[in-house]
Amino acid sequence: PRTTGEHKTKPTQASVRELRGLGLSPDVIVCRSEKPIDENVKQKISNFCHVPPEEVVCLHDVKSVYHVPIFLEEQGLVKFFHERLKLPVRKHSDEVRNRSKQWKNLIKKIDSLVQEVNIALVGKYTGLEDAYASVIKSLHHASMHCNLKLNLQFIAAADLEPETLRNDAVRYHEGWQKLCKSDGIIVPGGFGTNGIEGKISAIKWARESKKPFLGICLGFQLAVVEFARNVLGWEDAHTIETTGDKTKRNVVIEMEEHHTGIMGGTMRLGKKVTMFKTTDSVLWQLYGRKDFIEERHRHRYEVDKAYVPDMERAGLKFVGEDDSGERLEILELPDHPYFVAVQFHPEYISRPTEPSPPYLGLILASSGKLSSFLARGCHHRFLDCEITSEDEIETGEEESASLMNIQSVQNS
């Protein structure tokens, strides 16, 4: 703590003394503070806590959490663990150097971000943002990769429903105003009936207004329900999770083998293989033109394949399925800037230096950079190229054409 203009070491000394009384002797002490701690304070902590000075690590506030690994490495923490625990750390390998360089480039990029991208998250648990922690982090990873600062707007799905208009018109109009101002929309996973109609309304608006859209798990299932209702005209189309009635036109059904009638083991979990059925797919390109991918799943409902032929004839394309050919995994709408939904949860394996391809596609499309990104063959490799907007690409082509004309005149 910092009082009277200087850092105080007494609380740290007292804490260490209490630990020693319990038989715990510290190997290393990490001192958190708002401002950097000077060498005198570090030496004082070392003397009174019986820890060598090099094992007192000072960690003050930084601009973002991504600075912390580099900061700890500079403080000698990696070397300490290597020696104290006798870990086989490859200190000078090319892999380690490349990873360190990547991370430092990431930090530089984060510190210089100015331009924003506005994404609307339409969900059920928006009052508790931690419920979407993985989704939020994945959006941040993709935004950083695109040199953009994420401005995320949380919209409660129930606020978009007609019932809210009747009961609280202000909330209803505020929710739709946020949605309309967004550059892109994401509908993540969830369970239960609350907000289902609001999510379907948001998906319908994204499809009709050509707004970039990404659906995850339940978002994938509701995209199918919305298409069946509003394109095919099946007004009674729904998911059995909501209706609970097997006699209705449920385009989303329960997986029989994952619901045995008893508690426990009712979900399809873990990493599964998804095969691409066609190369005419945005996600196929974003995933690096692979024949198959492996992503993690967490669901107990699936799209009924019996309705797929009618939907595909109407324009909705199911471009990915599981390796058995029984379950549908990816859908896309070709005549749209970016209308993609997946049954799996790609956010679970997204990383700062390797963003999840579906999330990256959403951010690229929302910022007008998707076409140029794919045209240049960059895929989703981190920092392999600069990502430019469509306007910049067109300007560059015009400049190149002008230079070629000048060169031809000079040659003449």
* Catalytic status, residue 385: no
Judge whether residue 258 has pLDDT over 80. Answer: no
The active-site residue out of 238, 299, 347, 380 is 347
pLDDT band, very low/low/confident/very high, at 259 (cuts 50, 70, 90): low
Coil, helix or strand for 409? helix
pLDDT at 126: 82
pLDDT at 151: 96
Mean pLDDT of 245-253: 83
Query: pLDDT, tens digit, for every residue of 138-160?
Result: 999 999 999 999 999 999 999 99
* Long-range contacts of 244-252, Cβ-Cβ distance < 8 Å, separation of 24 or more: 250/304, 251/224, 251/225, 251/303, 251/304, 251/307, 252/221, 252/224, 252/225, 252/301, 252/302, 252/303, 252/304
Query: pLDDT, tens digit, for every residue of 312-359?
Result: 999 999 999 999 888 999 999 999 999 999 999 999 999 998 999 999
Judge whether residue 408 has pLDDT over 50. Answer: no
The percent of residues in the chain predicted with pLDDT above 90, rounded, is: 55
Alpha helices, DSSP H only, in 272-307? 282-286
Backbone angles phi, psi at 298, to 5 degrees: -160, 85
* Catalytic status, residue 354: no
Judge whether residue 93 has pLDDT over 80. Answer: no
pLDDT at 263: 55
* Catalytic status, residue 6: no
More confident residue, 148 or 190: 148
Judge whether residue 389 has pLDDT over 70. Answer: no
For the entire predicted model, the pTM comes to: 0.84
The active-site residue out of 140, 238, 336, 345 is 345
Query: pLDDT, tens digit, for every residue of 13-70?
Result: 999 999 999 999 999 999 888 888 888 888 999 999 889 988 899 888 988 889 998 8
pLDDT at 392: 52
Judge whether residue 405 has pLDDT over 70. Answer: no
Q: Looking at residue 36, what DSSP letter applies?
A: P
Coil, helix or strand for 177? helix
The percent of residues in the chain predicted with pLDDT above 70, rounded, is: 88
The kind and range of the H/E element at 96 are: helix 94-111
The active-site residue out of 140, 217, 295, 299 is 217
Query: pLDDT, tens digit, for every residue of 97-144?
Result: 788 888 888 888 888 888 999 999 999 888 787 889 999 999 999 999
